[in-house]
Structure 1
């Protein structure tokens, strides 16, 4: 583990105005990499399955995709209502020992939305200025995605330490680089001894289950949960291209990918990496909720890097798109490891689905990689 940001101590009390004006953050090398995904994204199916205490604020807030909100006037019967996970103050055993013991701590169990190799973690204490934990530690394990809290906490479960007990700061993005080349499904977030954390972000590479994909046969080859990823894009001005391979349909305009307005004669594009080498048979391009700003036309190209080729071949010719519409196409194209969608001239799409099957070579390589994790 490498602690990327080293914020310690309290932040100043809130003095009015923009609550993020004095938020402590720094450049984080892994947070903005487009080929990494937040494995703890609620939209992928992640969840906080249990916590030992959530007296002031619910554990589920940890995984809300949006930044933490602060309302200085929001109070309830238990006190200040915070947008995060906050536990009560721990106490010692009596008047002679009023302070908690060194080993006392609170914990939360997190199920990742997709199993994967973790590259970096952000423990965000936004708006927790004097009520953040003194330190945190994080462990990880592998279990069925449906494992219960009792099963995860049972004797004999092997937990791997990702972040040892480390001091953090309040109202700050506390970031850690992780160098453990293993596939994990669940985390245990510990705060020592108590306090509040606004958000948890777990950046990494999805590592899908080869047996599950083999049983499916045909699946979405570019979906995040199946190991697809965005590698690059021409523009991320209004919303990130990774949105296009999230599960489900878009629910609002910024839940897809939208570019700024072009004033030249070029076009925008996104390059994707598929689960592995595969044959694509059906394509869906969805412009849901993009009405006056959807792409006008789209074309799709493939590339097979496993064959050492850098040439792009056509999968779908330039085709007119309608606003707020699901477009479906049957295609017949060579095997590919990468796909690029070009949109003309600009605008956006909400989702891209590439249905097909892994080749024998692709399935073999995926199984070999999985066995090494």
Structure 2
């Protein structure tokens, strides 16, 4: 995609509603106005985008990812294009010749044109708007919101605003639309541009479960991304007892990886099994003597007792071997020793000195297979998988439970942002 007119200007956001909330957001882009009508060729040639990584948003999870269970559960209007398109993965698709009985078929959410109350007042009132309710796939702290108007060149909204609320994850639209429910405005009404990736940083340190997207007064939005950090329900995890300590839906995260050439390492901690090759993590072919790896942060300090390494749908390109290392960041931060008294077969990473300890010796991996291993439990906050020499894995599951210290820290964190 070519970025035209991308702006790195920081625009101060207005104060948001909600108790104790000050400057709730910052506009990361300053795209406004129409994009030129489509003239043929690559429809993204004049798309206005921004580098989200340079804006400090790399590594955040999309809390509105359908694969985590997110959904658009209600909208007041979807005359031209369905609300569900907002959360479709990947870039919006544009077919200039695709029309239906209601008009141009767009890959996004598009409402009809609003009109005023009478011939004497033909324009919409200043407060007129359309809205959509989105259930996040997992509760979390919102760090940024991207309102993508790709291919909406002259039919995008003039402005958008976003509110968020902490409710039951299974709350109905009627419950969420109750006037007594205390929504917090995380993006005040702000202008956006057509055929552009409009991005906003959010500065509200709160845990939310739903967002309400408003477009003023009407128009179309291709995609909505709600980037942030997963904050699971500590009571739910405590009730489960044993769960996947690295799963994205439980609060695990990828911290770094050696290679993201074919597909992102974050795929390895998504729910469910991979259904095709690009739903896992695959690296480019190595022509040196090195190897590839992913490092993860667990939801909190926990003890891993069982490991699954899944190479589903990776048949001629699965990793040949893998090994696992753990690190107890809590012990390192407190000056505790992490080496010594190690379980049989483990050992300190040579020359590391930062507390990495082997959890699983190097094992042979088979293509398109789920591999299961029982391991000796020990406290850990971070895990690293090394694959040899290259290739990929589809999923990594680390079954275990939180330590008392980890459970206490998680509960305090959730209480602080409730």
Give the TM-score range, shorter chain. Answer: over 0.9
State whether structure 2 residue 294 is matched by structure 1 residue 270. Answer: yes
2:214 aligned residue (172, 175, 190):
190
1:242 aligned residue (266, 281, 287):
266
Q: Do 2:52 and 2:58's aligned partners in 1 also have CA atoms closer than 8 Å?
A: no
Quote the residue 2:166 is aligned against.
Answer: 142
SS of equivalent residue, structure 1 residue 91: coil
Quote the residue 2:311 is aligned against.
Answer: 287
Deviation readout 1:335-363 (Å, 9 max, x if unpaired): 10000000000000000000000000100
Q: Do 1:57 and 1:85's aligned partners in 2 also have CA atoms closer than 8 Å?
A: yes
List alignment gaps of at least 5 residues for structure 2.
1-24, 333-337, 339-353
Quote the residue 2:370 is aligned against.
Answer: 326
SS of equivalent residue, structure 1 residue 323: coil
Deviation readout 1:70-104 (Å, 9 max, x if unpaired): 01111000000000000000000111111000000
Q: Report 1:10-89 matches (<5 A).
A: 10-29=34-53, 33=57, 35-89=59-113
Aligned residues: 373
Q: Report 1:309-324 matches (<5 A).
A: 310-324=354-368
Alpha-carbon deviation of 1:29? Answer: 4.2
In structure 2, C-alpha distance between the alignment counterparts of 1:174 and 1:296, rounded to whole Å? 42
In structure 2, C-alpha distance between the alignment counterparts of 1:155 and 1:87, rounded to whole Å? 23
Which stretch shifts more, 233-242 or 305-314?
Answer: 305-314
In structure 2, C-alpha distance between the alignment counterparts of 1:163 and 1:301, rounded to whole Å? 41
Alpha-carbon deviation of 1:206? Answer: 0.1
SS of equivalent residue, structure 2 residue 377: coil
Alpha-carbon deviation of 1:294? Answer: 0.6
Q: Do 2:28 and 2:55's aligned partners in 1 also have CA atoms closer than 8 Å?
A: no
Which stretch shifts more, 20-29 or 88-97?
Answer: 20-29
Alpha-carbon deviation of 1:364? Answer: 0.5
Alpha-carbon deviation of 1:34? Answer: 5.0
Quote the residue 1:177 is aligned against.
Answer: 201
Aligned-residue CA RMSD in angstroms? 1.0
Q: Report 1:120-159 matches (<5 A).
A: 120-159=144-183
Q: Do 1:229 and 1:273's aligned partners in 2 also have CA atoms closer than 8 Å?
A: yes
Q: Do 2:43 and 2:94's aligned partners in 1 also have CA atoms closer than 8 Å?
A: yes
In structure 1, C-alpha distance between the alignment counterparts of 2:325 and 2:53, rounded to whole Å? 30
Quote the residue 2:327 is aligned against.
Answer: 303
Quote the residue 2:127 is aligned against.
Answer: 103
In structure 2, C-alpha distance between the alignment counterparts of 1:156 and 1:318, rounded to whole Å? 57
Alpha-carbon deviation of 1:326? Answer: 0.6
